[in-house]
Amino acid sequence: MHYSMGVSMKGLAMHDTTTGSANNGLGDGSRATRFLSFTLGGLEYGLDFAKVQELRVLKALERFASSGEIIGGVAVSRGVIMPLVDMRAAFGSTPTAPDPMTDVIILRLSSCVMGMVVDGVTGVVSLHQDQIEPVPGAEGIDADYLIGLAQLGTRRLIVVDIDRLMSVRRDGENSARQVA
């Protein structure tokens, strides 16, 4: 059973796509996990919604520029100074000037609070573990942050472990780890 319910975040209507009850029909009583879905470079990703502190429009944050390619400076939100990681640059695309759809996902990670700049937030989805398949061909690449792929109707969601993704280090211009 599928149903969709409007959820208001950041002043925008988004959809909470849930798949049935807390029981996945297999009788094991497993619960669904909620993921925040967002777009980046034309692909849709999902991260554990429990890690999301708040959503902000990039233009609404007081921020200070940085000369770094991936670190887009720092921002102040609710009195907390945090780094802004521009995931558009981290994933290899050239970031354009922010438009009204450019969002910042403020994350409460195990090691810090930080902002993550993405093309746009698309909603919240609930997935059971059996709905997430391994990423084909991921065995040969250094991408331990990839949890898997989820198919939701016509949508394909790349599910990531945001703590691991944000711990990826770039040692040099030519040694960046491959990202999905």
How is the beta sheet containing 62-64 ordered, strand by strand? 52-57, 103-108, 113-118, 80-86, 71-77, 62-64
Average pLDDT in the chain: 74
Question: For 146-160, how does the pLDDT look when each residue is reduced to its tens digit (9 = 90+)?
Answer: 999 999 889 999 999
Q: What single letter denotes the amino acid at residue 6?
A: G
Residue 164 host element (H or E): helix 162-165
| Greatest pairwise CA separation for the chain in angstroms | 53
Q: Is residue 36 over pLDDT 60?
A: yes
Torsion (CA) 60, 66, 67, 72 in degrees, nearest 10: -50
Domains and CATH numbers, the chain: 2-165 (2.40.50.180)
The two three-digit tokens of residue 150, written as one number? 């989820």
pLDDT at 170: 52
